Chains A and B, each alone.
Chain A
């Protein structure tokens, strides 16, 4: 459906962002472009709606060369979701979603109906959210609007530029799940840029691995995991996903849960208690807006201070906590758990909370029962 033929991009300063790449996106598939930063994945995606023009080569959609199309028209028929969400802050949610239909001059009843339909599709009650403004929504809700805004004009092609990477881990997983579910209903052709291999494996029909402006491998995730094209791909997808389950490969990453109940340090104690109830957990992990790990609040501490209405979670959180990096091996994790007072171990990478090891998640990890589906497939054959 979308065809790249020998597409290159050279900038005036001589840098080559793309080197004669050719590939096809099939109709109705979700294709992810993945690679380290600077590999050209975003450049490739932005060429599809002509936000960036190729220096050489041609791109066509359904056989029609896009360089001969009116870029404004092309963009109105191509959904676009970006990492920074980019909702228009001065417009209501309904106005934001109706933007492309209005640009395409749909009659009012038609686009109003469409807005309600789409809000329902992502589980946001239209009567509540229609008239709200973007700043009144959480990050996860805002990006849901970002996604349905891209769907509103019924475009056959949707481009998504790391749409979930700025969200907190829980919202990110939810939105990934929703996208997979949504795609089963709508069957759009989606080009999805990401740098997160877990995300790519979870959502993609096919994965394009790029490096330095070149395509290294295009295949479905199972084939890529089984037969990485070269050492770079092998390293990029991560040895822990490839190797079989011998003990040496057991690291904190494979023992942890990725869904962690997080809260901001400035939340009040009543809010904290609500969060614990809604996640059915007895501890909350305090992170700032950049997901930097700050401390832990346990249910019993919270209950002790509950009467003090002026206290915030940051005032009662425990900061002297044992943490591990994701690549720490199993014996070190077990060592920490040998202290009976340790209930959980946060897994922290670059100061950011990436997961949580509990005694039960460690047992599951040891038994090879990780929640990653690709691991089950790989393990059986390994």
Chain B
């Protein structure tokens, strides 16, 4: 099997299975994005809370870091043993959410705490309430750091979602698993390449959002 003919086989596979690939891509997207959104909704408010109670920050962040050390496939497998979750997408989404917490939480916390103290003191001294300091100063200035965490989480999650196939949740991992089982490189690539492209596209999209959302006055620092 030389290079040329493998490429042809690969194209043929993609054409034949395009419906299957598109369905898998959609499942993959739904699982990844849902997990990221839930993880953001948990991590950003939690990060804000921890920046105000810094003594709690270290233990809480360590717990999310512990989750990160569990091998992703083990975490997925563990979820199906939990009642009400079982086999399928729900388990996958919970596992992926837990997996995305750390990068977003850590960056939110570090970003908020890292804002120049003199700026905070100026704001407070001028009579801003602590909520005004949080939303008009801290969050605005921490935004680039928070977005960087979100991007890291997104890329990791889109990758790990390929393992969701092993708990029957579908996604592009289905094609890869089938390819592995039947030793077909073309099938593995038909799952892996879209997953990689998806990660790149989202990373680029979030970088664009980050640039749009970063105020002009602090852009030069990025």
Interface residues of A (CB under 8 A from B): 49, 51, 72-78, 80, 82-92, 99-100, 103, 133-135, 149-150, 159
Contacts and interface: CB of A to CB of B under 8 A. Distances in A.
B127 A91 contact: no
Contacts of B132: 103
Most buried by A among B128, B141, B217: B217
Q: Is the interface of B mostly helix, strand, loop or mixed?
A: helix
Contacts, number: 73
A99 B119 contact: no
Contact of B118 (A78, A82, A92): A82
Contacts of A83: 118
B50 to A, nearest CB: 23
B122 to A, nearest CB: 3
B118 A86 contact: yes
A86 B124 CA distance: 11
A123 B198 CA distance: 54
Contacts of B119: 86-89
Given A85-B118, A86-B121, A99-B126, 18 more contacts: A51-B125, A72-B128, A75-B125, A80-B122, A80-B126, A84-B116, A86-B116, A86-B123, A89-B119, A89-B215, A90-B141, A91-B217, A100-B127, A103-B128, A103-B132, A133-B217, A135-B217, A159-B125
18 contacts: A49-B125, A51-B125, A76-B126, A82-B118, A82-B121, A82-B125, A83-B118, A85-B118, A85-B122, A86-B119, A87-B122, A88-B119, A88-B217, A89-B141, A89-B217, A90-B141, A99-B126, A135-B220
A100 B121 contact: no
Interface string B186-222: 0000000000000000000000000000011110100
Contact of A51 (B121, B128, B141, B217): B121
Contacts of A159: 125
Nearest to A70: B127
B137 interface: yes
B4 interface: no
Given A89-B218, A90-B141, A135-B220, A82 B127 contact: no
Contacts of A87: 119, 122
B122 A75 contact: no
Nearest to B215: A90
A90 B217 contact: yes
Contacts of B136: 88
Nearest to B117: A84
Contacts of A133: 216-217
A36 to B, nearest CB: 22
Contacts of B116: 84, 86
B20 to A, nearest CB: 48
Interface string B15-52: 00000000000000000000000000000000000000
Contacts of A85: 118, 122
A297 B215 CA distance: 39
Contacts of B126: 75-76, 80, 99-100, 103, 149-150
A73 B127 contact: yes
Contacts of A78: 127
Nearest to A71: B127
A86 to B, nearest CB: 3
B186 to A, nearest CB: 50
Contact of A72 (B118, B127, B218): B127
B129 A84 contact: no
A318 B154 CA distance: 55
Contact of A76 (B127, B137, B216, B217): B127
B127 to A, nearest CB: 3
Nearest to B137: A88
